[in-house]
Amino acid sequence: MHRNSVMNAGIAAAVTVITMSAPALAADSIIVQSTTSTQNSGLYKHLLPAFKKKTGIQVHVVAVGTGQAIRNAQNCDGDVLLVHAKPSEEKFVKAGYGVKRFDLMYNDFIIVGPPADPAKVGGMKDAAVALKKIATAKALFASRGDNSGTHKKEVRLWNAASVDPKSASGKWYREMGSGMGATLNASVGMGAYAMTDRATWISFKNKGDYKIQVQGDANLFNQYGVILVNPKKCPTVKQAVGQKFIDWLVSKEGQKVIGDYKLGGKQLFFPNANEGQS
């Protein structure tokens, strides 16, 4: 008898758990796998209410690194992918995981560092040359090291500088294996240079005395793209609702809302959906 009542209580508890959380995702809603920069900068808080007001659709954002976001989307754990690593995105579509990739917006990467500027790169434009100087000076550099969009970009820049920072991993080259914010926190804490997207930097609140040291290189361009996860691979994808979100993002109205987002008077993302699609 004792055992029965325990079991009944267990079953009752399990049933309650299942039923109480089930309706949460049932309404008109989609899951967007996205990057930390778009969430941490507050873009979604500006963007999503406007979309919801127009369509009634609730967008749930899972903000992780681009690498993880793509992996999650490949596992069908999302309806829309909004990230910033064009080569990986194109691979994603080519492999049949995504329907079509749309350019959405851009900003740029910058290299930030301590005011003492031990590698003397302050004011430089050429990112590859600046990285080479940092390597030569063996100045601390904090890398994301997490296969994110920013990390992939950084690796390409090291290649362009023909430096293999991995050989100094654990010495002056610190692979944090963390998100952008955690990496910036660590950089400021240990006096290391770091590469970040400008939106995250502008909205970041623990800058300390850090300054932007390198900016303005065309190679530091940071393009964001948006892709509907392919319903052929993932039958659970909410195709119509997801496509509606993408259509709105690249529409005149959506693009204007993106361009209107400012923090401290500075525009964080520059819409460019209609300047030639890929």
Site residues for another protein per CB under 8 A: 2, 6, 9-10, 13-14, 17-18, 20-22, 24-25, 31, 36, 39-40, 60-63, 72, 74-77, 179-182, 184-185, 203-207, 234, 236
**Least distance CB 122 / another protein (angstroms):** 22
Kindly state the smallest distance separating residue 95's Cβ from another protein, in Å: 14
Phi (first) and psi of residue 9, to 5 degrees? -60, -40
Q: Based on CB atoms, which residue is closest to another protein, 20 or 218?
A: 20
- Output 120 or 233, the one with its CB closest to another protein: 233
Rg (CA), the chain: 21
User: 31 or 80, CB closer to another protein?
Assistant: 31
Please report how close the Cβ of residue 10 comes to another protein at its closest, in angstroms: 5
> Measured from the CB of residue 142, what is the shortest distance to another protein in angstroms?
14
Helices (H), the chain: 2-21, 36-40, 43-55, 66-74, 86-94, 127-137, 149-160, 180-190, 198-203, 239-250, 252-260
| C-beta separation of 54 from 247 below 8 A | no
Nearer to another protein, 72 or 219 (CB): 72
Task: Tell me the closest approach of the beta carbon of residue 160 to another protein, in angstroms.
Answer: 28
> How far is residue 206's CA from residue 112's CA, in Å, rounded to a whole number?
13
Q: How far is residue 42's CA from residue 117's CA, in Å, rounded to a whole number?
A: 30
Rank residues 10 and 123 by Cβ distance to another protein and give the closer one. 10
User: Which of 157, 158, 132 lies closest to 220 in space, CA to CA?
Assistant: 157
Which of 78, 101, 192 minimizes the C-alpha distance to 145?
Answer: 192
Answer for the pair 147, 85: CB distance below 8 angstroms, yes or no. no
- Quick one: which of 62, 65, 68, 261 has its CA closest to 180? 65
Q: Which residue has the tokens 């903000």?
A: 63
- 104 three-state secondary structure: strand
- What is the C-alpha to C-alpha distance for residues 58 and 159, in angstroms, rounded to an integer? 41
Give min distance, CB of 112 to another protein, in A. Answer: 12
> Which residue's CB is nearer to another protein, number 180 or number 273?
180
CB of 174 to another protein, least distance (A): 17
Looking at residue 80, its amino acid is V
- Residue closer to another protein by CB (options 92, 102) is 92
